[in-house]
Amino acid sequence: MLKEPSFPESEFEQLRNQTVTQIQSQFAEPNARASEALGKHFNAYPKGDWRYRPTLEESLADIQAAKLEDARRFHRDFYGAGTAEIAVVGDFDEAKVAATLKELFEGWRAPKPFARVPMKNGDIAPADLTVPTPDKENAIFLARQNVDMTDSDEDYAALFIANYILGGGAGLDSRFGERMRQKDGLSYAAGSGLTVPAVDRAASWSAYAIAAPKNIAKVEVAFREELARALKDGFTAAELENAKSGAIQGRVQARAQDGTLAGGWTFYLHHDRRFAFSKVFEDRIRALTVADVNAALRKHLDAAKVTVVKAGDFAKQ
């Protein structure tokens, strides 16, 4: 099916209809509209570029305009195993698997040569955006800032732990979770994320909170106060030790899953790495000091550069 798909028209239309329904169901959803607004604000590419961030309406129009021949042509031009990475994890006969893979994929190359599509971020002016989604009980708060970093940078581990403490892994004990959920009782869920690529210096830090529309303004105040407090006063030794322990434990547990190992191997093979790269990263985490984490936070995050999006039914508030 991978090498010689039949592309039945009935299944193509079924998939198109399912996708159209899925997109249309997101039109009035706060999360989808907030993500759309954030993506549009940070978009650095013109429409038609593969990296362009389309609106929901644009995505719907693209799906509706797609033709079966488009899918056939894309498969014909771009599918092949010439530059593929394959990882197999589990209880298997290595020789038989290798022979089978050779039989299936040897010589199967795409007519179009592989070329990596580079990504860029750059400085984006901060904005405070509000998106109305009438008659929705929940609202969402999103925040983002671009970061100049790759996962090979020495201070990536320090920023990773800083984000873990803010909201990226500590759960209700994180700064955002404790403030917005535990203390103020404003949010159903709150957290943060750090996305750092392997090649392009196109990282980003983000935060989110889900709350009732009447509480979103207070959620924003709490977010800004907690971020400012972290930047001004830094983190404590206890927070650091808990974050280091939790982060390492989470990574060890993830590596106990076959799927995680297989995915990790294909990623590392693609970037000419081995799992020794992961060990170096975890050794850096173990060696971190409070000063290291605070310095990385202040170097890479700036409250004045954060863009905020709020989506919900605010007309009645």
Q: Where are the domains of the chain?
A: 9-105, 128-312
What local confidence, expressed as pLDDT, does residue 173 receive?
Answer: 87
Q: For residue 174, what are the contacts with CB-CB under 8 A and spacing of at least 6?
A: 164, 165, 166, 167, 168, 190, 191, 192
The pTM for the full model equals 0.94
Rounded CA separation 291/301 (Å)? 15
Rounded CA separation 216/143 (Å)? 13
Q: Is the alpha carbon torsion for 164, 170, 174, 176 positive or negative?
A: positive
Q: 261-270: per-residue pLDDT in tens?
A: 999 999 999 9
Report which DSSP code applies to 169: S
Helix 237-254 vs helix 290-300: angle between axes, to the nearest 10 degrees?
A: 80
Q: Is the alpha carbon torsion for 76, 77, 83, 88 positive or negative?
A: negative
Q: Is 191 helix (H, G, I), strand (E, B) or coil?
A: strand
Pick the CATH number of 128-312 from 3.40.1170.60, 3.30.70.260, 3.30.830.10, 2.60.40.10: 3.30.830.10
* 227, 167 Cβ separation under 8 angstroms: no
What local confidence, expressed as pLDDT, does residue 254 receive?
Answer: 95
Q: 271-312: per-residue pLDDT in tens?
A: 999 999 999 999 999 999 999 999 999 999 999 999 999 999
What local confidence, expressed as pLDDT, does residue 170 receive?
Answer: 73
Give the residue ranges of the chain where pLDDT is below 50. Answer: none
Question: N- to C-terminal Cα distance for the chain?
Answer: 54
* 214, 317 Cβ separation under 8 angstroms: yes
What local confidence, expressed as pLDDT, does residue 172 receive?
Answer: 79
The burial of 100, by beta-carbon neighbours within 10 Å (0-12 exposed, 13-18 middle, 19 or more buried), is given as exposed
Rounded CA separation 312/306 (Å)? 20
Rounded CA separation 209/244 (Å)? 24
What local confidence, expressed as pLDDT, does residue 171 receive?
Answer: 76
Instruction: Pull the structure tokens for residue 183.
Output: 């203390």
Q: How are strands ordered across the β-sheet holding 187-195?
A: 128-132, 307-312, 139-147, 203-211, 187-195
Rounded CA separation 38/44 (Å)? 12
What local confidence, expressed as pLDDT, does residue 160 receive?
Answer: 98
